Structure formats: structure tokens, C-alpha cells
Amino acid sequence: MSRVVLAISGGVDSSVAAWLLREAGHEVTGLFLQHGHASRATADAQRVAERLDMPLHTVDVREEFDRRVVGYFVDEYTAGRTPNPCVVCNKWIKFGKLFEYAEQIGAEFVATGHYARLVAADNGQIALCRGIDPSKDQSYMLFDIEREWLPRIKFPVGEYNKKKIRQLADRLGLSTAKWRESQDICFVSDGDHARFVRERRVKVDTSGEIVTTDGVVVGRHDGIERFTIGQRHGLRVALGEPRYVVQIDPNTRRVVIGAKEELARTELTAAGANWLIDVPCEPVRCRVKIRYRSRPADATVRVIDKDRFHVQFDEPCHGIAPGQAAVCYDGERVLGGGYII
């Protein structure tokens, strides 16, 4: 039996993860990370811990979360980029604190309720792979965790689909079983990202012109934080045919719109690279995801230096947004990724 520290939020996935770990014979301690942006979560986590007779420890991460995650989110949108706060939180907050606490109590493993899997590769290394449920797979969000952490991580729910997890929660009498799953970022509960950013940058003017790709001014906007590359809805201009955001210029504060074909890109460069395999010395044929919900596309990846890599797609991709993650896959396995520049 191993000692495991489990990140527990009070939601259905981490709740069932706790039970699965216990069923596998592990001694489980829950770790609740209090970041101050989910008022109900503390009580929910406590109820789950009591229901499963599991010790629960709370760590106040509010200051660090606001600095590393919320601050990053606001800065990126203000700079005309599209951030992915869950990726950043996983690396700097969730797994960092899990391992820190695991060391304090002498736990061999840490665990979360992510839909992902860890599989022994042919060379004896541990591979991060997609979860069994393709509609819930969260491996994309995990590309930036440290490679050396992999042998000490467990993803209990990654071997199940969401329906089965809810059935297990219901069988265990957990109140989370039938809760509606939130699709919002935890600290922007109403989904209004632009409002959230403006409230934290009240002295920064990000308003400007909306122009076509040939430079014709067709409107004005109240802030570049309202836009992302590939966006169609909410442009507030009528040109008689669909138009999409194809560029956001933070220097001029211009939002450039064009036809769908003007979104097409055959290459990208990513920085902040993190590899979960040995850094490739030669070009790698793989599939690359440019957003969490996008389909991976066939591509050739070439490492530029320890921080950057270049992706050449076989076919044009639409909606490549600076700030989002480009994550490389070999079949089910995550090879690594970086942030689109």
C-alpha cells in the first residue's frame, strides 16, 4: 500500500478518484487548494472527505494563484493573446503544491481527477497519454508538467468515461454525482472574460478600430480582450458575409477581420517548450493540437532551441492563436508542447 496525496476540489472527478485509490489499497490524503475563487468548493471538499473517511488538508494558495494564474490571464489578454490558465495552474499551482505536501508527509505519489493516463513505454519511461473518454481527455492541459514527476503521478479516472464516473459517484452516495459540469474558468464564473480583464486594468485603454485585412476601418471595439483569433460572433459589424478575427495588434489596438480562408496557416512557432520525451534532435512526424477542443493535425515538428520549436502542418489550420498551447502527440502519447507566438 502506498501513501497518495490527492488534489480534491469537491467535484465528482476528484471525489471518485479518492474512492478508486482507496479501492486499489492506497492510503489517501486529500489536499484542498484554496484559491478563493469558488465559494462552495471548501464545504464540498470537506463533505467528500467525511463521506469517504479521508483526512483533508487545506493550503491557502490565494496570493500565488492571483499572481501566477490570474495575473498571467489578465496580462495575456491585454497583450492581444489568448491565454490558457488551466495549463499554467497545473504546472505552477496544482502539481507544485501536491509534491510539496507529499514531501512533507512522506507520500510516494500524488494524484488528481484529470482524464489522462500514464502508461509504461517500451523504453521503460512513463508516457503521458490521452484519457479513455475522448470527449473529456485533458492530456492537452498537462503538457507543461515536469517530466520527472510522471513516475509519481496517478490519474485514477483516466481509465473511465465520464458516464461511468457519475455512476460510481451515485453508487457511493456522493452529492456531486448529478451536478452540472462547469465549462467556465474557475475565477471567471460568468464567462465574461473581457469584463474580468477590464476590472483589473481600469487605467489601461485597449479600445481601438476594427479593420479589414486590406486596411478599411469598419467599426470600433471597446477592448482587444474581447477577441481571439478565429472568433466570428460578437464582432458587432455587418458586412453581408461571415468575417473572422485574423489578427490582433496590441500596439495599434486594431482588430483585423477577414474571410475564413484568411485564417489559414500552414506553420507556427511555439516558445516555452516542455518535452515529456528526450528532446528530439531530428524532425518529428506527429499530430499537433492548437486548442483544447481542436482536432490534432498531421505535422512535422523541428526543435529550434531548448525553448522553441517550429510546426509545419500538412494542411492549413484555421484559428492559430498566439498564447494558446501547441501540443504534440504520437498516437495517444503526449510528446510535449509549447505556447504559440
Angle between helices 41-51 and 12-23 in degrees, nearest 10: 20
| Neighbouring C-alpha atoms within 13 Å toward the C-beta of 119 | 17
In angstroms and rounded to an integer, the radius of gyration of the C-alpha atoms of the chain is 21
C-alpha cell at 68: 501566477
Q: Is residue 317 among the annotated active site residues?
A: no
Which residue of the set 86, 89, 286, 328 is catalytic? Answer: 89
- The type of residue at 321 is A
Our answer to whether residue 186 is catalytic in this structure is yes
Using alpha carbons, select from 192, 226, 230, 189 the residue that is nearest to residue 207: 226
* Cell numbers representing residue 141 in the block: 492541459
Reported residue count of the chain is 341
Answer whether 326's CB lies under 8 Å from 288's CB.
yes
At residue 24, the 3 state secondary structure works out as: coil
Measured CA to CA in angstroms, residue 12 lies from 29, 242, 317 at distances of 17, 40, 35
Edge-first strand listing for the sheet containing 27-34 = 56-60, 27-34, 3-7, 109-111, 153-154
Pick from 186, 112, 182: which is nearest to 145 by CA? 112
Report yes or no: 126 and 65 within 8 Å, Cβ to Cβ: no
Closest CA to 221 of 196, 245, 185: 245
Distance of CA 277 to the CA centre of its chain: 20
* CA 126/CA 276 separation, integer angstroms: 9
How far apart are the C-alpha atoms of 5 and 7, rounded to whole Å?
7
Active-site residues, by number, are 89, 186
